């Protein structure tokens, strides 16, 4: 079961161009051998490919945080899900309005 919390997903609420949308995601974790983030997965609801990205971590990572840019084909919700070493799943979501949508696959 995916629970809300521990994950902080940051996207601008409105973007002029869906071709390059900045995204920051971080997860609260001590990042120790016994308690760490194993992965962060990014999904969206309207792109032709809803699975945007996956990032993998281990206990040697000093923190579980990622900054990147994504493409959005339309205004939509983006969701980040983190898997922790105790096999729990945590999430956060953000709605983004794209005034100019990115090119979609044909």
Concatenating the DSSP letter of every residue in 18-81 gives TTSEEEEEEE-----SSS-EEEEEEEESSSSS-EEEEEE--TTSS-EEEEEEE--SSSEEEEEE
Half-sphere exposure of 21 (CA within 13 A, CB side): 32
Q: What is the pLDDT of residue 59?
A: 87
Task: Indicate the pLDDT class of residue 105, thresholds 50, 70 and 90.
Answer: low
- The residue-averaged pLDDT of 63-90 equals 96
Sign of CA dihedral 42, 50, 46, 91: negative
Q: What is the pLDDT of residue 35?
A: 95
pLDDT, tens digit, 9 for 90 and up, residues 32-51: 999 999 999 999 999 889 99
Q: What is the pLDDT of residue 85?
A: 96
User: Does 3.90.110.10 match the CATH number of domain 2-98?
Assistant: no
Q: What is the pLDDT of residue 36?
A: 96
The alpha carbons of the chain give a radius of gyration, in whole angstroms, of 14
Closest CA to 36 of 60, 68, 17: 60
pLDDT, tens digit, 9 for 90 and up, residues 19-33: 999 999 999 999 999
pTM over the 0.85 mark: yes
3-state secondary structure (DSSP) of residue 83: strand
The full set of domain ranges for the chain reads 2-98
Give dist(CA 59, CA 81) in Å, integer: 18
Task: Indicate the pLDDT class of residue 1, thresholds 50, 70 and 90.
Answer: very high
């Amino acid at each position: 079961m995916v629970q809300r919390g521990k994950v902080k997903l940051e996207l601008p609420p409105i973007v002029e161009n869906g071709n390059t949308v900045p995204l920051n995601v971080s997860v609260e974790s001590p990042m120790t051998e016994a308690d760490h983030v194993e992965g962060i997965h990014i999904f969206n609801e309207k792109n032709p490919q809803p699975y945007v990205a996956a990032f993998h971590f281990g206990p040697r990572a000093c923190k579980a945080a990622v900054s990147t840019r994504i493409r959005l084909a339309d205004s939509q919700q983006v969701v980040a899900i983190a898997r922790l070493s105790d096999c729990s799943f945590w999430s956060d979501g953000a709605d983004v309005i794209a005034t100019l949508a990115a090119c979609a696959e044909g």
